[in-house]
Structure 1
C-alpha cells in the first residue's frame, strides 16, 4: 500500500512539473494552420447535394417507379409496392436521410452569416435547397416537423409537426427570400457546386421554377387556390424580370454524375448489376414509347445495334412490358428491363442508366414547360397552352437525345398526341400529364405526387391491387417517431388522420 501511495505521489509531482509546458500555447499547437476551426459553406454544399440525390434516387427506383408502373419488381410475396402495399419501415429511409441533409443545408445558411455578397449567394442557395427537400418530405408524409425542425443544437429534440398548409407557406417565404438574395449575387466556388458549377443566377432560376411547381401543387386547394393562381401569374406575366426561370435544357437542375470520386452515381455504388437488371419494365411505361416511335427508345440512337438512350433491353417480344398490379401467381414472363453497366449488346458495351450522368435529376426545363401548359390551358396565364406543351415534349426528348431532328409536330401527329380543336380541358390535361410523366422520369417522387394531385396519367389498375385499388396517398411516419416524439406524433395524427397510407394529405383533401 505504501508503495502504491509513493508511486501515485511521484506521478502527481511529475504532472505538476510538466503541466505548464503542456499548457503553453496548447490551442495554437493543436490547431491546423491550413484548416479552419469550422466547416465553410463551400465545404458543405456538394456533400449535402450528393447525399440528398442519393436518397431521392434510391426511393425513385424502388418506390416511385413501382407505384407509377415504370417498373414491376415481379414478386408473389406480401407487401410489394407495385400492389399498393408496403411495410411501414420503408418510410424510415427518406425521413432519416433527408432531415440529416436539411441540417447541412441549414448550416450553410448559418455559416454564411456575413454581409458579403458571396455569403448572400450561399444563403440563397441554401434556402432553395431547404425548400426543395422540405417539399419532398411534406408531399411524402403530410404534416411534418418544420418550424421546430433542425433545432437539435438548441435542445429541441421533440419538434412539433406543422400542418402542411403552414409548411407550404413557409416554403414560399423561403423561395421569395432566396430570389431576393440571389438578385445580382456573385457566383460561388465552382468546385463547391456540382449542379450549376457556382452559377448563382442559374440557382435563382431554379428556385423560381421550383416555386411554380409548388404553387401548382396547391392550385386545386380551395382555401389557397386563388392566392397560388395569382402568384403564378405574377411570376410568369406580371413581373417575369423579377422572377427569372429555367430557360433551356442547359439550365435544368441536374447533378450530372462524372463517375469520379464522390460524383459517382449511387446506382453504380450501391446497386448490384444483377439487381439493376432485376425489375421488368412496366407495360404502361414502355408501350407508349414503343407505339410513339419515341427516340429515347430508338435502338439506332447511337448507331449501335440494340442500344437505346435509356439502356432498355428488348425482351422475347421486342420492346414490351409487364402489366402491373397482377394477382400473385399470375404474372407474365419477364419482358424488357434496364441494362446494367456490365451488359454487352452485339459486342458493344450497352448504354445504360446505371452510370448515366443525367440520373441526378432535380428539376428539368420540360417540367416547367408542362407547368406553364397546364396554367395556360386553365386560363391563368397568357400564352398558348399548345406552344408550351410542344416545348415540353421537345425538350423532354432532346434532354436525352440532343441530336433528335424530327419536327415535334410530326412526332405528335404520329403519336396521336397533338392538341385537337375539339379537345376539352380534360383531354388536354390527359395529354399534358402523360407527356409530363416522361419528363418527370427519375425526379424523386414527382410522378407520384402529380398523380395524386391530378389523377393523371390514367394508369391501368390490375386485379391484384391492395388498398382498395386506390393509389397510396402518403407514406406512414417512421416507426420510431411514435415512441421518440409521442406527444407531437399523437397531435399530428389527430389533426391529419390515421397514420396510414390511405390518409390523404392536406392538399389532396377537398
Structure 2
C-alpha cells in the first residue's frame, strides 16, 4: 500500500483550498443571502410600529394622555437625552427594493419610496440635520457621510412622497404580501402615502413661505386634484396595527399585566380636562370614574363629570402616588383597554387627515370648507370609539367651544385641540409634534418634568454618531445650534 508523508498531504490540501477565494470561505452556506420582499416589508412595518406607536408607552405619557404614579414603571421626565436613528431599517428598505427588482416585481417600488421618506422624516424631526444623500453607502466604503441640512432633507423627502404617489398609482389595482397594516391593498397605501404627504406639509407651517419647499403649492395641488392624489375617505382606510390574542401580538396593557399596571397608569389631566370641558361622550368610553366616586354612594356617579379626574403630568411622583393610592384619579376604561385585543392602534388615520386639511385651509393654503373637514375629523374620532348616534354628535358639535369659529386664530385652536383629542393612544409622537409646532394644547409643566419648566424642542444625537462620524456631526451641530447638542434649542422647521 502506498504511503503519503505529512508534507505531501499538506501540499495536496493547500492545492485544493488555494483554488477558492478567501471571501468565498467567509460565506456561511446556512445563512440565506436572499429573501422575498414581502418578508422584508413585514419587518419594516414592525419597525415603524415599534419605534413610536405602541399605546400606553412613554410616547403617550409625554403626549400627556396618561401618567405613571410609581417610579418603578417610569416617569414624566422631559429631561431626555439621545434618540435612536433608523438607518438599519432603511438598509432593509433598500434590500426590499433590490429583491423586488431581482424578481421583476414593481409593486414594492412606491412602498420603498414612502418608507424612505417616512424614516428620514422621523429622524430629522427628532434631531435636526442628518446624513441623507451620502447615507447608506457603507458598501462603497463611505463610513462618514456628511450631514444634509434639515431643509435639504425635507426637500428630498417631499420629492420621495411625490414619487411614491406616482409609483403607487401605477400599481394601485395590485395587492402585495407581507402587509400587516393595510391588508395588502396598494390603492389604500396610496391614500396613506398622501395622508403622510399632508402630515409632512402641515409640519412645515413655520416654513410655509419658503420658495424651495413650495408647501402651500404642494398642499393646494393635493386638495385640488383628488383623482391624482387620492386621500382616505373613512376610518376603513386607516393604517392600523391590530392586536390578536396570540404571543407577541397582544394589546400592551391586558389581563396578564393588569396587576402590575392597574393603579399605576392613570388618565392625564391635560387630555381628560378637555373631555370634561366639552361634556365629551368619549370621556365615558376611555376612562373609569375615580374609586372615590365609586365609593361615594351616589347612584349616578358614573354619569357625572366630577367623577372623572386626571393626573397633572407636572406633579411629582410622590404626589401622584399618594393621590392615586387614595383613589383620586381615573384609570383607563377597564373593559376597553385591559383586554388582549384592545383597540387597533392608528398609525396614520382619517381623522388626522381631516384636521390637517382643515388647518391648511384655515391658514389660507388652499380653497375649501375648513368647517366640513373639522366636522369630519371630530365625527371620525367619535365613530372610532363607537359613538355614532346623530343626536349625540349634533349636540356635541353645536355647543359653544366646539362649533367652528371660522378661519382665524380661534378656529385654528379648535382644529388643533380636536386633533389632539383624536390622537389619544394613537399616532405616535404626532400629538407632541403638533404641540411643539403650535403650542396647542398647553402642556402641564411642573417639578416632575425635570427640565427647568420647559418642554424640550428636540432629542440629542446618539452616541454612535459621536463615535463613528464625529467630525461631520460637530459641523452639523455648529451650523444648527452653535455647537451644542441642546434639547432646548429649536429645529429649523420650528424657526
> If the TM-score is normalised by the length of the shorter chain, which range does it land in?
0.7 to 0.9
1:338 aligns with 2:332: yes
Matches of 2:413 and 2:223 in 1, distance apart? 23
1:428 aligns with 2:411: yes
In structure 1, stretches of 5+ residues that fail to align are 20-25, 299-307, 340-344
Secondary structure of residue in 2 paired with 1:380 = coil
Matches of 1:406 and 1:209 in 2, distance apart? 30
Could you tell me whether the CA contact under 8 Å between 1:102 and 1:133 is conserved in 2?
yes
Secondary structure of residue in 2 paired with 1:82 = coil
Flag the 1:205–1:186 CA change in 2: closer, same or farther, 3 A.
closer
Count residues in correspondence: 464
Matches of 2:400 and 2:288 in 1, distance apart? 20
Flag the 1:150–1:135 CA change in 2: closer, same or farther, 3 A.
same
Alignment partner, residue 45 of structure 1: 41
Counterpart of 1:324 (choices 306, 313, 330) is 313
Shift in Å, 1:139 = 1.0
1:370 aligns with 2:322: no
Could you tell me whether the CA contact under 8 Å between 2:254 and 2:337 is conserved in 1?
no
Shift in Å, 1:223 = 5.1
Post-superposition CA distance 1:353-404 (Å, at most 9, x none): 6644644321100001001111221222222211111111000121232655
Alignment partner, residue 245 of structure 1: 231
Alignment partner, residue 123 of structure 1: 109
Matches of 1:484 and 1:269 in 2, distance apart? 44
1:382 aligns with 2:367: yes
Alignment partner, residue 99 of structure 1: 87
Alignment partner, residue 110 of structure 1: 98
**Most deviating of 5-14 and 404-413:** 5-14
Shift in Å, 1:8 = 4.3
Could you tell me whether the CA contact under 8 Å between 1:112 and 1:120 is conserved in 2?
yes
Report the TM-score, using the length of structure 1 for normalisation.
0.80
Alignment partner, residue 449 of structure 1: 433
Alignment partner, residue 56 of structure 1: 52
1:65 aligns with 2:60: yes
Matches of 2:143 and 2:451 in 1, distance apart? 34
Post-superposition CA distance 1:282-312 (Å, at most 9, x none): 11112222443433332xxxxxxxxx4x465
Matches of 1:10 and 1:416 in 2, distance apart? 94
Report the TM-score, using the length of structure 2 for normalisation.
0.82
- Structure with the bigger RCO (C-alpha within 8 Å, sep 6+) is 2
Secondary structure of residue in 1 paired with 2:101 = coil
Alignment partner, residue 421 of structure 2: 438
Shift in Å, 1:6 = 7.8
Alignment partner, residue 302 of structure 2: none
Shift in Å, 1:71 = 1.8
Alignment partner, residue 230 of structure 1: 217
Could you tell me whether the CA contact under 8 Å between 1:76 and 1:329 is conserved in 2?
no
